[in-house]
Structure 1
Amino acid sequence: MAVMTRQVVVSLASGILFGAGLAVSGMVDPARVRDFLDVGGAWDPTLAFVMGGALIPMVLAWAVVRRRSRPIVASEFHLPATTPIDARLIGGAALFGIGWGLAGLCPGPAVAALAIRPGPALIFCLGMAVGFGLFRLLPASRTKKQGERHGLQAAR
């Protein structure tokens, strides 16, 4: 099997596993997420347990990755560069949090919810796509300069 085909299969399997985990845990239900964020009211700690449960295999996976010279289905690791905390990061995190709090969905659960509750999830995903499109309309020089400042190179 070609390397690219293996990468696609592993990516697809990972996405299916992630989506199934979100669906089984109930994290595609916006009401459950809003209840988790309602720390002053009827707080539902379920999401904290789901996140904690996700940390266990992730810690193990990083321990394995650190011991490997290269990934199983690629020629090299593509790890993100460490970037400083700046206004753009804080602003983006704030927008993400506001959207999550208002809709009760973030990108992963929204895509998974397309299979369970397609109506509301589709509206969210369309809004998310519009946001992605608006980001692409930012001046290229500004985005390129910030990428270079953070040690990232433009894709060729």
Structure 2
Amino acid sequence: MRSNISAFLSGLLFAIGLGISGMTNPANVLGFLDVAGDWDFRLAFVMGGAIAVHAALRPLIHQRERPLFAAKFPALSASGVDRKLLVGAGLFGVGWGLGGYCPGPALTSLTTGATQLLVFVPAMFAGMVLARVPWARRMS
């Protein structure tokens, strides 16, 4: 139960940060991606801030024997660059560039009632489900 509360509060903090920074507005995201035109650099500061917080806190967190709300830290596996990673990253980038949303801001922006999200979010979830199909077949 504590891990669910922690996850909810983390997601809420993330959503508030997205809203304050303006990253729920696809025009800001598309402006950042338009490096050859009227480039909007503000997203670089948002990402830089997130990287700085992570870089500062990660060593402190890993000094603990275990996380606050779990029995142990998850095992990380580095399997390298493969076709699944490249295709997934490519599809993510194309969707981000066309729609101006990535998953977090898209879900956060649902509260605005923007009509384009009524298409984007279901398509995003359909893509998540469909992405598992070829890999699920291989595993069975």
Q: Is residue 86 of structure 2 the alignment partner of residue 90 of structure 1?
A: yes
2:74 aligned to 67, 73, 78, which one? 78
Alignment partner, residue 118 of structure 2? 122
Name the CA distance, whole Å, in 1 between partners of 2:135 and 2:42.
41
Q: CA deviation at 1:81?
A: 1.4
TM-score, with structure 2 as normaliser: 0.92
Q: Give ranges in structure 1 of 5+ residues lacking alignment.
A: 146-156
Q: Is residue 22 of structure 2 the alignment partner of residue 32 of structure 1?
A: no
CA RMSD of aligned residues (A): 1.6
Amino acid at match of 2:120: F
Q: Is residue 57 of structure 2 the alignment partner of residue 61 of structure 1?
A: yes
Name the CA distance, whole Å, in 2 between partners of 1:119 and 1:57.
34
Name the CA distance, whole Å, in 1 between partners of 2:135 and 2:39.
42
Bigger Cα displacement from structure 2, 101-110 vs 87-96: 87-96
Deviations, residues 20-53 of structure 1 (Å, cap 9, x unaligned)? 1001100011111011000000000010000001
Alignment partner, residue 151 of structure 1? none
Q: List 4+ stretches of structure 1 deviating above 6 A.
A: none
Q: CA deviation at 1:121?
A: 2.3
- Identity between Structure 1 and Structure 2 (%): 42
TM-score, with structure 1 as normaliser: 0.83
Bigger Cα displacement from structure 2, 32-41 vs 114-123: 114-123
Q: How many residues align?
A: 140
Q: Is residue 109 of structure 2 the alignment partner of residue 113 of structure 1?
A: yes
Cα pair distance change 1:64/1:37, threshold 3 Å: same
| Structure 2 SS opposite 1:58 | helix
